[in-house]
A and B are shown apart, each in its own frame.
Chain A
Amino acid sequence: MMGTLHAGAVPLADVDQGEASIAAAARTARRRRAGWVWLGRIILPVVVIGGWQLSTEHGVVDKFFFGQPTDVWTALVDLFTQGTAFGSIWFNLWVTIQEAIIGFALGAATGIVFGLLLGQNRLLSDVCSPYIKALNSVPRIILGSIFVVAFGLGTLPKVLLAAVLVFFIVFFNAFQGVREVDQNLLANVRVLGASSLQVARHVTIPSALTWIIASLHTAFGFAIIGALVGEVLGSQAGIGLIITQAQGHFDPDTVFACMILMAAVTLVAEYLLALLEKRVLAWRPPSRSEAQAM
């Protein structure tokens, strides 16, 4: 790039050549580094999965307990070709995803609303903060037991459990986002005569949005956990139920297959959230999002 750009401006041939060769060397170094990175990325899973396969084949690790990569693959294929004891895998996957998504939406919405409210009202937040901290230190996953007993084996207890897990993550981020609002900016719009609704629309919410969206990545993972744990605790369909059943049959391969499935779902969700983030936070300087991508 540099070399070709400067070519016209520099009359001396040897200088031009010097720049061109420097640019070429830089390109080679860059390509070489990318090559090493990709080689490493390929070797790493080959070693890990290959090691697992070898050690189970030679009896170093008992495949009765820890499964075997080839058997996990077979189990995964079986899930799709032969279905499960509770209907097709697509149906069960959909049940779990649905629970996770509704729980995610519910938890995120309430988290945002409460975070914005408490972030803007110092008195309210001073009153509530010790109780919120106390609630946050409760192991909330246990609530699943109560939800299953109270609301039965349907969708509702899973949705609630996912929502509870999501709520606190989003809430704390929204709250912090409001607290980090630039005070000068706030004073500025107030002097210009903004109503409190306008302050929220133009300053508080956009400012908190950076924090909220960052929290959604973690939160979706928790929504999946909530749905799965809810299903494990008691249900009539869903990936969690397949996992419990496989556990009962001493079938670690199916458990691993379900794990891979859910990981794929989370990756897709992650990708969609990243698209949303890119759209909503287009104003951000690029260096920051690059650092986050790492």
Chain B
Amino acid sequence: MVGKKRRPAAPVPGSSAGTDAARIEITGLTKRYITPAGEPFTAIRDVTFTVERGEFCAIVGPTGCGKSTTLAQVAGLERPSSGSVTVGGQPVHGVTTGVSFMFQADALFPWKSVLGNVMIGPTLNGTPKREAVALARDWLRRVGLAGFEDRYPHQLSGGMRKRVAMAAALINEPKILLMDEPFGALDVQTKAIMQTELLGLWEQLRPSVLFITHDLDEAVALSDRVLIMTSSPGSIKENFEIDLPRPRGEVQEIRHEKRFLELQGQIWASLKDEVERAYARTVSAA
């Protein structure tokens, strides 16, 4: 289980990954659903890509192209219709261990205090309560929420709730972090702050990240690699290496660098066709 790999004190960079335990390999992944009308619907078709250990990989694509579906297969929440997902060389059967999820919605327990929310990870893998509390306090301090332990989520601002979610996702030191538009609902300023903070924490822990977003700037600013998905049924259209140096520091400032703008332009050119195609489809459907 994950519990064995977990370390209670401050982690050493790269400690969460074993040899290649955090390598995600997706081959020929196809997922079909049956719609309520009884029709088969192909969400993603023949998706193939690899995320290396400790790599930050973003997926961008038009609305409804199956980005979230791809994440659900990696997490093991759903089974692929065909193709395979392997994590650390092991094919995914049932829920993948050592994975954390972050969603656009908060996914916090409204009935648990901030501390209780962050503690859930260690609690579920059987860490003794006292240790779990100490660990949760430490993580709250790391995301700048020391002193808010006893609040309930509804008493916090959107940005603070995101920090709680981030602490809850990272406390088990996952080898893989799956993020589904985690900052999509935040205002622009809060978003930039949270992105910078995520990068800081990621550089300490170095999990492999699969990051879904609509926001091209966000994808380029954070990632080592950006994958473009085609409109539905989704498949990988193109792969861009982001060679901006790390550590990248303030997300707000990279946005003005020449190389950033160059990459962003290239990616947009590739994505534009897909977005237009997806939009045309929604218009004709309506």
Interface residues of A (CB under 8 A from B): 182, 184-185, 187-194, 198, 202-203, 206-207, 209, 281, 283-285
Contact = CB atoms under 8 A, between A and B. Distances in A.
A192 B105 contact: no
B124 A198 contact: yes
Contacts of A202: 109, 120, 123-124
Contact of B120 (A184, A189, A285): A189
A56 B108 CA distance: 61
B77 A206 contact: no
Contacts of A194: 124
A184 B100 contact: no
Contacts of A187: 72, 75, 77, 101, 103, 107
B97 interface: yes
Contacts of B103: 184, 187-188
Contacts of B75: 187, 191
B97 A193 contact: yes
Given A191-B99, A191-B101, A283-B152, A184 B109 contact: no
A197 to B, nearest CB: 11
Interface string B108-142: 11111100000011011100000000000000000
Given A185-B107, A202-B120, A283-B110, A191 B100 contact: yes
A206 B125 CA distance: 20
Interface of B is mostly: loop
A202 B101 CA distance: 17
Interface string B48-81: 0000000000000000000000001001110000
Contacts of B72: 187
Most-contacted residue by chain B among A182, A191, A207, A285 (CB, 10 A): A191
Contact of A188 (B107, B152, B154): B107
A193 B110 contact: no
Contacts of B76: 191
Contacts of A190: 77, 95
A184 B154 contact: no
B239 to A, nearest CB: 26
Contact of A185 (B99, B109, B124): B109
Contact of B124 (A182, A193, A206, A284): A193
Q: Which are the 6 A-B pairs with shortest beta-carbon distances?
A: A184-B107, A283-B111, A285-B154, A184-B103, A188-B107, A191-B101
A109 B100 CA distance: 36
Most-contacted residue by chain A among B99, B100, B121, B124 (CB, 10 A): B124
A281 B152 CA distance: 12
A71 B243 CA distance: 93
Contacts of B108: 185
A193 B2 contact: yes
B235 interface: no
